[in-house]
Amino acid sequence: MLTPAALMMAVFAEPLLYAWTGNADLANQTAPLLVLLALGTLCNGFMYIPYMTQLAHGWTGFAVRMNIVAVIFIVPAILWAVPRFGAIGAAWAWLALNAGYVLLGMHFMHRRLLPGEKWRWYRDAVFKPLIIGSVPLLILRQWIVLPQNRVAMAGVLAGIALVAMAAVLWAVPVSREFLRLQFKALRGRALNG
């Protein structure tokens, strides 16, 4: 459920920060930072299962090599970006690092461990949840007028997050099958009393 949560933070960064802090200026100034950090964390989360797959196959050297290459790029990027752009520069570096893992790391991991599965993984685990989670959030961001009261705003934002989560759950085949089985079991219990 990382995808809808991260997308929610990216699309509704400023209202979420305002509902949390009550400080409109702080929310306005830090929202761009939250967007980048949420998207970077989303990319990082996409790598969790593939990383576990590498460990399960005993291929620990790949992660070590990837991280060495990442350090070679990320340290200079941070040293260059932070003095010029501050925290936003570091957040861009975080996003670039994790996007690199998803784009490059996955290519090599699939080539060795799961040949022929790369595009299916991108389609089912990355693109479908991203697109199906983004669409309702972007539409609701344009159509919903959020209340000014922080508590009411938090309630509306929670409802929007639930819509995105439901959409992603329904879009991903594994979770859709899980939900189908759960509803079937509930229906069976209800009918059997």
CA dist 78 and 56 (Å) reads: 32
Tokens of 54: 């590498």
Q: Give per-residue pLDDT as tens, 159-181.
A: 999 999 999 988 888 888 888 89
**What is the dihedral angle through the alpha carbons of 44, 49, 50, 52, rounded to the nearest 10 degrees?**
110
Residue with tokens 């922080």: 150
Q: Give per-residue pLDDT as tens, 16-47.
A: 999 999 999 999 999 999 999 999 999 999 99
Q: Report phi then psi at 42, rounded to 5.
A: -60, -50
Q: What angle do CA 88, 94, 42 make, to 5 degrees?
A: 110
| pTM (two decimals) | 0.88
CA dist 87 and 30 (Å) reads: 10
pLDDT of amino acid 193: 64
Q: Total structural domains in the chain?
A: 1
